[in-house]
Amino acid sequence: MKTVKLDITKEHCPMTFVKTKLELEKLSKGDILEVILKEGEPLENVPKTVTEQGNKVIEIKNLHDDIHLVVIEKG
């Protein structure tokens, strides 16, 4: 099992979830992807779309200000 970090705080739609999807494709089942993202569109859409695709969101926490961490387990 490995853990990979992905920072998409500077990205905008559609690259927020495009990059997340591409990163997830590189991982194997059970691996962890930690995504750092901003409030608004990314925080609303990234957890939703990865769940729809059979992955699991383990944790969402606020790091500081409008920056959040979403921990995803690849399904």
Partner 1 sequence: MENKKKISIVLFSGDFDKAIAAFTIASGAAAVNYEVNLFFTFWGLNVIKKYKTRNAIGEGFLAKVFNFLMGGLKNLPLSRLNFAGASPKLMTNLMKKRNVATLKELIDASILLNVNFYACEMSINILGLKKDDFIPQVKEILGVAKFLNLAENGEVLFI
Question: Quick one: 10 or 61, whose CB is closer to partner 1?
Answer: 10
Of residues 9, 1, 31, 26, the one with CA closest to residue 46: 9
- 44-66: string of b/e by CB count within 10 Å (b at 16+)? ebbbeebeeeebeeeeeeeeeee
Q: How far is the CB of 15 from partner 1 (least distance, A)?
A: 5
CA distance 14 to 43: 13
Question: Quick one: 4 or 21, whose CB is closer to partner 1?
Answer: 21
Q: How far is the CB of 68 from partner 1 (least distance, A)?
A: 18
Q: How far is the CB of 1 from partner 1 (least distance, A)?
A: 24
59, 68 Cβ separation under 8 angstroms: no
Question: Quick one: 8 or 68, whose CB is closer to partner 1?
Answer: 8
Tell me which residues touch partner 1 (CB under 8 A): 10-15, 17-18, 20-22, 49, 52-53
